Amino acid sequence: MNADPSTIPASTPLNRRAFLATTGSAASLALIAPRTAFGTSANSKVSLGLIGCGGRGKWIANLFQKHGGFELAGVADYFPDRAETAASEWKVPGSARFSGLDGYKRLLDQKLDAVVIQSPPYFHPEQAAAAVDAGKHVYVAKPVAVDVPGCVSIEASGRNATGKKRVFLVDFQTRAHPAYQEVVRWVHTGRIGRVLTVESNYQTSLMFTGMGQQLAQDPASPELRLRCWGIDRVLSGDIITEQNIHALDVVTWFLDAAPLKAVGTGGLARGFGTCWDHFAVLYSFPNDVLTTFSSKQVGHGYDDILCRVYGTEGTADTHYFGEVWVRSKEDGYNGGKLANLYTDGAVNNIAAFHRAITEGDVSNPTVAPSVRSNLTTILGRTAAYEKGEVTWAEMMRRGERLDFPLNRLKA
């Protein structure tokens, strides 16, 4: 499936999707000798294993191949047919194709330099931790996790990766785009004055109807839930975490902070799946900065991934599939209409991943902001489910875990 903006109908202003943030708490820069950065010699390609061979997995494997510095050498997917299809496409030897829940473990036993994790979000923390333990560099799709323990685990994996001189990169496309980076620079350097409020949106038309029909055949079947994970609250983290994170990650990037508390609401109007299809959340950030956030994946007529910052001296505006600009009293910046952030951001991230591996830069700066924005989505989700107010401290104290009946899947 393609549980993201790329699934937005081409007729809408959002005809492809994709996105990312930086942080003041980035891990300290640690450099290692390039020759020790990956198992093979410094001049050879980085050998790569793909975990999760669905829509995004196959799409991004193609981009890794196009980069030229990688060689796809192994695949793992829960479903054997998906592993086989991807493996055949990339001529991966039969001995490096794995399936089942533990397929990724057998992939990690292979002599690979790195893995690309493109499985449903529920599995990211466990797979990333095992990959770092196995000494692999890790490139992982957003969101990094579906719950608080998962976020904590990813944070630890990022730290462990740095300790083991391995690269760990989280693929948010916005943070990798120069126009977004420039707008954020304007805000961070005070060029729109003091930030007062932020407006954030992730609006799409009705999505996932095919998945809804498929799941209706047997909603309790664990394998069917896995196939239809995009409408499954546990496997995806709900749309506020799995998809709306593209908008909320930019908010936390602009503000370079985590919210103190949130109050929210939302619901499910489309009548299938366990994820809600609309949310409205009011976040309180430090320094009395309020962020209004709303999202939907239902209805028709308006599609956008927006983050707009209002300051005392100006306004900064970003649209994942649209224009990116700043207007201040005296000045301005026009980043123009982004050509294809969905692809360009991933291409930039793949290049950054390769550069970090070959140059031995294991500072892993994408980890901390990705965990922060992931937790921000979970805070909003928790407040919305409770239709009340929840503080960050309370969310962390509770540490709620989402559970899936893994024992009913094939090992």
Binding site for ligand NAD (CB under 6 A): 1-4, 17-19, 51-57, 76-79, 82, 101, 104, 118-121, 123, 141-142, 171, 173, 226, 242
Q: How far apart are CA 179 and CA 169, in angstroms?
A: 20
Neighbours of 280 (CB within 10 A): 16
The least distance separating ligand NAD from the CB of residue 74, rounded to whole angstroms, comes to 12
The nearer residue to ligand NAD, 76 or 282, going by C-beta atoms, is 76
Burial class, 164, CB count within 10 angstroms (exposed 0-12 / middle 13-18 / buried 19+): middle
- Are 111 and 45 within 8 A, CB to CB? no
What are φ and ψ of residue 139, in 5° steps? -120, 115
Q: What is the DSSP secondary-structure string of 62-89?
A: HHHHHHSSEEEEEEEESSHHHHHHHHHH
The nearer residue to ligand NAD, 76 or 390, going by C-beta atoms, is 76
The nearer residue to ligand NAD, 39 or 55, going by C-beta atoms, is 55
Q: How far apart are CA 172 and CA 296, in angstroms?
A: 20
Which pair of tokens denotes residue 23? 């942080």
The nearer residue to ligand NAD, 61 or 192, going by C-beta atoms, is 61
The least distance separating ligand NAD from the CB of residue 3, rounded to whole angstroms, comes to 5
The least distance separating ligand NAD from the CB of residue 78, rounded to whole angstroms, comes to 4
DSSP state of 204: E
What are φ and ψ of residue 371, in 5° steps? -65, -40
Q: What is the DSSP secondary-structure string of 160-174?
A: HHHHTT--EEEE-SG
The least distance separating ligand NAD from the CB of residue 169, rounded to whole angstroms, comes to 12
Report which residue's Cβ sits closest to ligand NAD. 54
The nearer residue to ligand NAD, 81 or 389, going by C-beta atoms, is 81
The nearer residue to ligand NAD, 121 or 314, going by C-beta atoms, is 121
DSSP state of 292: E
